[in-house]
Structure 1
Amino acid sequence: MNCLCETGQTNNLKLEGDVGADPVWCKECGCNLEVEDFDVSEALVKKLFEWSSSYGLWIDWETDTLRQNGLLLENKFNQIGKLLVNELAMELGDLYNITFIPSTSARFYATL
């Protein structure tokens, strides 16, 4: 995968949700990578994009506050992410090391 690392490629990935970004990143340089560039099934690509698009549903962006049951919503998001990182690893095989980075933003909003 092309990234901003010195070699321009990486096999060390992380799966992490963020607003408006593909969910796969280079773990070394932090470059956001396009899911479609990986040799994975369309079904998994769809799941990854659905999961990614649900990032932040626990936050009311208009008021910048945590929604009711926000911690539970974020926990569910993280549980699905753990399952997806396993699916991604199975489809990619030994070519990549993949780490799941759970969201912790609800905890931040809960302290406000």
Structure 2
Amino acid sequence: MKCFCEQQETYELKVEGDVGADPIWCNQCGCNFDLDDIPFSKELKRELSEWATKYGEWIDWDLDQIIENGAEIEEEHNRQGAYLTEKVKLELDGRYKIKFSPSSMGRSYSNNKLL
């Protein structure tokens, strides 16, 4: 897949949630890939897209603090992300090295405030 790496192509991907981004990235340069450009099934694209839209639901962005039960919500999001990463590996059938990068936003909070 074409990216911003020096060789302009990568075979190392990561699954990672972020606000307003598709969840597939180059693991080296950080280029964000459009799900429509990756040879996934429609079902997996839908699952990844739905998972990505839930990123950060454990944060009250207006108050800049974690919500009640936010750590548990983030943990569940990470479990789902790890599961989807395994599905990505299966569908891409060894053509790419793929890793999952879990959210650790909850660890960035102290007394419910973002550090």
Output the TM-score relative to the length of structure 1. Answer: 0.97
- Count of equivalent residues: 112
SS at match of 1:63: coil
| Contact kept? 1:57, 1:73, Cα under 8 Å | yes
Q: Structure 1: which 5+ residue stretches go unaligned? A: none
The root-mean-square deviation of aligned C-alpha atoms, in Å, is 0.9
Aligned sequence identity (%) = 44
Asked if structure 2 preserves the Cα contact closer than 8 Å seen for 1:66 and 1:110, the reply is: no
Residue in 2 that maps onto 1:17: 17
Amino acid in the other structure paired with 2:52? S
Gaps of 5+ in 2: none
Q: Which contiguous aligned blocks of 4+ residues in structure 1 show a shift greater than 6 angstroms? A: none
Q: Using the alignment, how far apart are the partners of 2:94 and 2:110 within structure 1?
A: 39
Q: 1:48-86 CA deviation, whole Å, 9 max, x = no partner?
A: 000000000000011011000000000000000000000
Compare the two structures and name the one with the higher helix fraction: 1
Q: Give the residue type in structure 2 aligned to 1:66.
A: I
Shift of 1:110: 3.9
CA distance in structure 1 between the aligned counterparts of 2:62 and 2:107, rounded to whole angstroms: 18
